[in-house]
Amino acid sequence: MTPTHHRDREQPIGVLIPKPLADRPRPRPAPILDLPVPRPPVDLSAVELVLGVACPDRSGRVTESAVLQALHWGPGQRIDVRPRAGILVIVPAPAGRHVVGSRGELPLPAAVRKMCGVVAGQPLLLAAFPSQDLLVIHPARTVARLLADLHVQAIGGGCAG
């Protein structure tokens, strides 16, 4: 028996080769997703915003004089510190549980620091809105996440190489 004669007798195994499906309905094409509606840029021209960067000490105190000066918060100013969606919102409050320190340090309570991921020595972005008498503190990881999301949106989720 020669090798060519053996090949003539080879046949495909039916289990490995699927039979064609007859009368199968064609699948519908996948829907095309709508592009996001472009939003106009946020107009910050009328909003007074003062930014600062500071690192909390081991006791959770933050000092950033330019931000406090813009808010007109001096030593003894009573404040309320609340966590909101990974950031800290600080407002003056006559019956506030916390007080701006004698050297202009903002106390960040341990429970709030833990909830928002504030770590001693890691930078915080402080955003003061003097017209609203409001201070918002963004931990570094929150800023990094927001910037990453913004960059993904800006470049469409992919990189051109």
Residue 59 lies in a domain: yes
Instruction: Judge whether 11 lies within some domain.
Output: no
In a domain, 157, yes or no: no
Asked if residue 113 lies in contact with residue 59, where contact means CB atoms within 8 angstroms, the answer is no
- pLDDT tens column, 115-150: 888 999 999 999 999 999 999 999 988 888 888 888
| 44 pLDDT more than 80 | no
Looking at the domain assignment, is residue 80 inside a domain?
yes
pLDDT for 160 beyond 60: no
Total domains in the fold of the chain:
1
Q: Indicate which CATH number applies to the domain containing 137.
A: 3.40.1550.20
Give the global pTM.
0.65
Residue 109 counted as domain residue: yes
Residue 143 token pair: 């800023």
For residue 132, the 8-state DSSP code is: G
Q: Quote the pLDDT of residue 161.
A: 45
Residue 67 lies in a domain: yes
* Structural domain contains residue 95: yes
- CB distance 83 to 90 below 8 Å: no
Q: Tell me, yes or no, whether 3 lies in a domain.
A: no
Cβ-proximal residues to 120 (8 Å cutoff; 6+ apart), any chain: 55, 56, 57, 58, 60
Range of the domain at 140: 50-152
